[in-house]
Amino acid sequence: MNDEAPRRPTALISYSHDSPEHEDRVLALANRLRGDGVDCELDQYVPGGAPAEGWPRWMEARIEAADFTLMICTPHYARRVLHQEDPDKGRGVVWEATLLYNLLYHDDAFKARAVPILMGGATVRDIPLPFRDNFCDLRDPDGYAQLLQRLYGRARAVKPAVGEVAPVPPAREPAPGPNPAELDAIAKVLAPYIGPIARVVVTRSASQAASRADLIEALAAELDSEADRTAFRVAARRIAK
């Protein structure tokens, strides 16, 4: 039995300071993750409001060190990543995005470590395009549980053990078809309805029918009236018995 505690994942939250309400939502998420065993870093946790080494070095060190970078995607975040905002706004997001894009370019495995997050009124359009197929949706009731599964590397369902080999029933053998003598007799029954071509029709239909019953039904379908079809079935079934 392995009593070793699971490794705590580490995560850095990257987000834009859209509003005090949004900052509170992000802080609540970080606090919840830390309560659930994730060693989560957030700029709001930095004593004094700013790191001694400056924000660029602080962000770079933590993005490289963290197991995951959680990208809180909003319209403001997307615009700043794409340099569509006032250059004096959101410099931290722009710097973080530059680091993320460079890591994505140089490290094939980094994409699995960058986790876009949707919350509030955000949509998929707010996720930077290279990361769009890899997001967690906290707008969904199950979104937070899925995020934890992602961070801890756990599956959504437990794979059961493979059981014993089940007995497999033998393949069904096709029902025996009519023999040549029966085909001749059936052709004679059919001839009064369609004429001398009856033997050709019977031979052709017999090559496609899986059983005597199928053959009789296929031949009956060649007849025009329901009365003829019924009479033919009765006579042909007597031959097949």
- Is residue 165 included in any domain, yes or no? no
Q: Are residues 114 and 197 in the same domain?
A: no
- Is residue 1 included in any domain, yes or no? no
Instruction: Read off the tokens for 26.
Output: 């992000």
The answer to whether 200 and 186 are in contact (CB under 8 A) is: no
Query: What is the pLDDT, as a whole number, of residue 95?
Result: 65
Q: DSSP label at 165? A: P
- Is residue 5 included in any domain, yes or no? no
Q: Are residues 108 and 220 in the same domain?
A: no
Provide the phi-psi class of 90: left if phi over 0, else alpha when psi is between -120 and 50, else beta.
left
Q: Are residues 49 and 138 in the same domain?
A: yes
- Is residue 54 included in any domain, yes or no? yes
Query: What is the pLDDT, as a whole number, of residue 29?
Result: 97
How many structural domains compose the chain?
Answer: 2
Q: Are residues 22 and 133 in the same domain?
A: yes
Query: What is the pLDDT, as a whole number, of residue 31?
Result: 97
Angle at 184 between CA 180 and CA 187, to 5 degrees: 135
Q: Are residues 71 and 123 in the same domain?
A: yes
Q: How far apart are CA 70 and CA 8, in angstroms?
A: 16
Q: Are residues 145 and 206 in the same domain?
A: no
Which residue, of 152, 168, 190, is where some domain finishes?
152
Q: Are residues 55 and 127 in the same domain?
A: yes
Q: Are residues 42 and 124 in the same domain?
A: yes
- Is residue 207 included in any domain, yes or no? yes
Query: What is the pLDDT, as a whole number, of residue 1?
Result: 46
145: CATH? 3.40.50.11530
- Is residue 23 included in any domain, yes or no? yes
Residue type, 223: L
Q: DSSP label at 195? A: -
Structural domain of 229: 180-240
Query: What is the pLDDT, as a whole number, of residue 117?
Result: 94
Is 196 in a helix, a strand, or coil?
A: coil
Q: Are residues 58 and 142 in the same domain?
A: yes
Q: How far apart are CA 211 and CA 232, in angstroms?
A: 17
Q: Are residues 29 and 132 in the same domain?
A: yes
- Is residue 184 included in any domain, yes or no? yes
Model-level pTM?
0.61
Q: Are residues 62 and 16 in the same domain?
A: yes
Q: DSSP label at 23? A: H
What is the Cα Rg of the chain in Å? 37
- Is residue 2 included in any domain, yes or no? no
Q: Are residues 62 and 148 in the same domain?
A: yes
pLDDT digit string (tens) for the chain, length 241 residues = 455 666 899 999 989 888 999 999 999 999 999 999 999 999 999 999 888 988 888 888 888 899 999 999 988 888 777 665 555 554 556 667 777 777 666 666 777 888 999 998 889 988 888 778 788 999 999 999 999 999 999 888 888 899 888 888 887 665 566 788 888 888 888 888 888 888 888 888 888 887 888 888 988 888 888 998 999 898 888 885 5
